[in-house]
Amino acid sequence: MPYTHNLRPELGDFNSIVCFKAVITGVEDTLGPDGAAVVFTRAGRVRGHNLARELGVSNKNVTGQELADLLNSALGKDGTRLCAVTSSYQEGNKVIIETQETVCSAGEHQGSDRQCTFTLGAVQGALEEISGKTYLAEHTESVLRGGKCDKFEFEEM
């Protein structure tokens, strides 16, 4: 499902990570880290729901690598380029989704405490729309803190 929008005829649909991160840090300065995290996670979640609906994959209830491939086609290189979704699997009662090159981690120094709030929310919203279920989401592993990926865990509510 390649990305096919064309919102700006001359500049195209994508802007710089630097500008996006300036929005994040500006909101953090205004609302504090916790307030900004709530706002960006919710914004991402709305975006994920809308994206899955736009792609016509609501209530498809796919799992495993098929889910990862679907999310990656929407959010990865051929989609909006928010992140590369590399893996999806079940671990007990949780859905685990692993990502690389998240927009939230881009340009951050090793050891940064940056959380992938918008990316987590977008993946959560898409997962919820695809599965028809509601999840509690958590960012449990970060490339900024020694992880091999940015790992998101989703527990059905």
- Tens digits of residue pLDDT in 99-136: 999 999 999 999 999 999 999 999 999 999 999 999 99
What is d(CA 73, CA 107) in angstroms, rounded to the nearest whole number?
23
CB atoms within 10 A of CB 123: 31
Confidence tier at 9 by pLDDT (50, 70, 90):
confident
Mean pLDDT of 60-83: 89
Please name the amino acid found at residue 114. R
Predicted confidence band at 155 (pLDDT cuts at 50, 70, 90)? very high
Confidence band for 11, pLDDT divided at 50, 70 and 90: confident
In percent, how much of the chain has pLDDT > 70?
97
**What would be the CATH architecture of the domain defined by 17-156?**
2-Layer Sandwich (3.30)
At residue 4, does pLDDT exceed 70? no
pTM: 0.92
pLDDT computed for residue 2 by the predictor? 56
Cβ distance 21 to 107 under 8 Å? yes
